[in-house]
Structure 1
């Protein structure tokens, strides 16, 4: 992997709420995000501290995580409490697309993409631990993450892949032939072919120097950006090789212990061959636990599960 370069912070945009967990840029340079109180927000002019303003588009009644813009301007929302939602950006309406799978309540939906035929694929991070106990799944290494598919007109989603280590961010390849899944618990990106002789067989795509969270593609044929929610920890890698009973006991302790995110933050951008094009880091960052990144104009905008706003950084030159 190439040596990292500096992630250059410019300013913060406070949102009046905590936890803008995912950020996505729309075609007009505005940034959309969901916050802990259930609102979906749109940030205008995020790169200009003098002109920036925020508006509320909708309230999901749950905890929105991953967002995906639809061709008609509405948003797909993965809500950790309510499931897969469709939110109207003009009228604020909220429609539940899926709240269960195979008779099991759908919780901890994390990220979604829509394919050209209208099929929605989305991830579920854990079947054992809810969002407020996410660290328990990372420590226990449960491998209960899922990739699901909701076809147009289907009565409910189907399971495409099980056994994922905290399935999180999701992106489609430029040609739509495969998906890229962020497995936070294994510090890797996984390739899931949708077509061809390898269809349905997951395979390694990229090993990362940290725990990937949300993914965002910079345009139909652009790079895939991944936020690194934390650096790779050798002690955690070692624990993941311990017996299941040891991991479960450690996880029970971890969910009750105070959690302070690392001061080292980072983002990476990869191409459709899994090659790292950009790797940006900052140590001793005041903005912590970066869970998402998107680009607009000359800026990168970072989201976080814990911060009260988004961070705006300099966008690296194209390679």
Structure 2
């Protein structure tokens, strides 16, 4: 079921505290069942943050080092952590001893670069995204400007050595999460300002369709919370000039992308998150227009609060939860 972006007036996204991580770029945040938050930074560290809801100082513990650049994360039932590493591919990290194992680093003879986000189903099948085949992480803005449509959705079945390409031609494929009954996936296409549905079972199996279009910002990582909602981080507001540029020819977009990569980047003061249900309906829409915490690339619930991650910032933001309906 496709839903439009008309979410009405957003509620306020209210910060409670900021917690530094001793590094930069906690791009994704996920919470465990004890309210602790896992994230990664640009130096390749996997970190665990504890005590975010308490009045005292939060604890930041280094659990592992990937040797690359961790982006999307997924906790497994056995306590291991799946990591999409932009340089090394899809990894599995033992959080007890810090051991890092490569699950996939190529597909069809092509090295996996810009591996973005991953989700695991109950049967052990892994689904993950690649944001771009033409631009590395360091040039992400070039891909969004050029509108290359080289993002992918991949599947790695239990026991397989190499993933299978399920979808190609996605506009900066990003976050991915499964429906509660695992009948379909929801994935973010940042370059389309929308969410895409990919069927896993039933008559829609293997088919992609629009799940939510025209979102009020650019969707990044998505995370299914314990309450059943899918939380969507909005990395930036919609940019009308960029959407107009996407209608121009490839040569114009390539030239604009080259200029964008060379220009210094500074995110706006926009911070936003959405929560949608399995029908694509927006249940919560929170925004802050003059935020000191910028470029929100992830959001999760921990101890009744919202925790925001960012590719840009040097820590995470802990915010008030949305008001009950």
Segments of 5+ residues of structure 2 without an aligned counterpart are 1-5
CA RMSD of aligned residues (A): 0.8
- Unaligned runs of 5+ residues in structure 1 are none
TM-score by length of structure 2 reads 0.97
| 2:179 is the counterpart of 1:169 | no
Q: CA deviation at 1:281?
A: 0.2
Length, aligned pairs only: 318
Matched, 1:215 2:229: no
2:199 alignment partner, one of 174, 193, 196: 193
User: In the alignment, is the contact (CA less than 8 A) between 1:22 and 1:33 conserved in 2?
Assistant: yes
1:45 is displaced (CA, Å) by 1.1
Match in the other structure for 2:133: 127
Counterpart mapping for 1:52-91 below 5 A: 52-91=58-97
- 3-state SS of paired residue (1:274): coil
Q: Encode CA deviations 1:45-86: one digit per residue, 9 max, x unaligned.
A: 112241410100000000000000001011000000000000
- The runs of at least 4 aligned residues of structure 1 exceeding 6 Å deviation read none
Structure 2 partner of 1:308: 314
Q: Quick one: distance in 2 between partners of 1:49 and 1:92? A: 29
Deviations 1:113-163 (A, max 9, x none): 001110000000000000000000000000000000000111210000001
* Distance (Å, rounded) in 2 between the aligned partners of 1:283 and 1:48: 27
Match of 1:140 among 138, 146, 152: 146
Q: Deviations over 1:226-276 (max 9, x none)?
A: 000000011111000000110000000000001110111100000000000
Alpha-carbon distance between aligned partners in 2 of 1:155 and 1:298, rounded to the nearest angstrom: 39
Kept in 1: contact 2:224–2:231 (CA 8 A): yes
Which residue of the partner structure matches residue 120 of structure 2?
A: 114
Are the aligned partners of 2:47 and 2:61 in contact in 1 as well (CA < 8 Å)?
yes
Q: 1:244 aligns with which of 250, 254, 265?
A: 250
CA distance in 2, matches of 1:298, 1:314: 8
Distance in 2, matches of 1:144 and 1:202, equals 16
Cα deviation 1:174-202 (Å, max 9, x = unaligned):
00000001000110000000111121111
Alignment-derived partner of residue 44 in structure 1: 50
Q: Contact 1:177–1:194 at 8 Å: present in 2 too?
A: yes
